[in-house]
Homo-oligomer: A and B are copies of this chain.
Amino acid sequence: MKVATTLAEFAALRTQLAGPVGFVPTMGYLHEGHLSLSRLARSSCESVVASIFVNPAQFAPSEDLSSYPRDLKRDLALLEAEGVNLVLAPASNDEFYPEGYDTWVDVAGITQRLEGAFRPAHFRGVATIVAKLFNIVRPQRAFFGQKDAQQAIVIHRMIHDLNFDVELVLGPTIREPDGLAMSSRNFYLTPEQRAAAPVLCRCLNRVEILYSQGERDGEALRAAMREVLQAEPLARPDYVSVAALDTLEELKMIAGKALVSLAVQFGSTRLIDNTVLPPGKALV
């Protein structure tokens, strides 16, 4: 496995890769979710590229950029064990955002809802770094996790709208034994918060059961999630949502596909989770 710490190094190493190239972009501090995406890439692509970059453009000034967990040495060992061929891990933010940087990719509409309503510039930062990475890595396939459902929908929209010749492949959410969706931010949780955190998954399970019993009323399903959350004193919900999968607008009644999602704070740690209805339907 080769590791490039500058874009110039990366460009030289990229020319040596046989195609098709699969790409797994990450912010590091890897967990089984990331590794399952590497494996998915490995199984369908001749070469696998991963990137490790905590992208400042997707954090608000009030957010956890400086405290975001980092462990490059461990990350590289994990990626090497998965058979990744080339890693882009820039030594400096200037590689991506040099002096005078001033170009932004904005997906409108769907980025105003859900996570975007709570994190206003977040998806602008995500879309911009992914557009840059697509141009730098030139992958045939890019692998993202369904755990960040709205991110996947935004990237899908951007790929389509800006005519990127990249196939988006989504990997399923990987969960701890108690149902908590894996996330680098789980690391922040105190033991008490960690014990409370599976409440997100329980909300989704509750909705899936109600749906299987025929409930289609959006507000009834949202109310069911709120009820589950109220039983957990450490959980402070940002939102619970039952939204149309294409527009992310809240649904009165579920007719087609729906994204059921929620964001919950435990102390200063913010966790998200989601599921798609009908169960098993693809996100994009």
What residues of chain A have their CB less than 8 Å away from a CB belonging to chain B?
Answer: 7, 100-110, 127-128, 131-132, 135-136, 138, 157-158, 161-165, 246
**Cβ contacts under 8 Å, A106 to chain B:** 103-106
Closest CB in chain B relative to A96 CB, distance in Å: 8
Which of A107, A128, A161 has the most B CB atoms < 10 Å from its CB? A161
B157 touches A103 (CB 8 A): yes
B102 touches A162 (CB 8 A): no
Return the contact of A161 from the options B102, B109, B157 (Cβ within 8 A): B102
B162 touches A103 (CB 8 A): yes
**Cβ contacts under 8 Å, A128 to chain B:** 162
Closest CB in chain B relative to A124 CB, distance in Å: 9
Given contacts A135-B164, A163-B7, A163-B132, contact A127 B107 (CB under 8 A): no
Give the docked Cα–Cα distance between A210 and B228 (Å).
77
Give the docked Cα–Cα distance between A165 and B134 (Å).
11
**Cβ contacts under 8 Å, A164 to chain B:** 135
10 A-B pairs whose Cβ atoms sit less than 8 Å apart in the complex: A100-B246, A102-B107, A102-B161, A103-B105, A103-B162, A105-B105, A105-B162, A132-B161, A132-B163, A135-B165
B132 touches A162 (CB 8 A): yes
Give the docked Cα–Cα distance between A105 and B162 (Å).
9
**Cβ contacts under 8 Å, A165 to chain B:** 135, 138
Give the docked Cα–Cα distance between A108 and B100 (Å).
10
Return the contact of A108 from the options B104, B110, B135 (Cβ within 8 A): B104
Give the docked Cα–Cα distance between A106 and B108 (Å).
12
Closest CB in chain B relative to A239 CB, distance in Å: 21
Residue of B nearest to A97 (CB): B161
Give the docked Cα–Cα distance between A138 and B55 (Å).
27
Other CB < 8 Å A-B pairs besides A7-B163, A104-B105, 14 of them? A100-B157, A101-B161, A102-B107, A102-B161, A103-B105, A103-B106, A103-B157, A103-B158, A104-B108, A128-B162, A132-B161, A135-B164, A135-B165, A136-B163
Give the docked Cα–Cα distance between A7 and B100 (Å).
34
A157 touches B102 (CB 8 A): yes
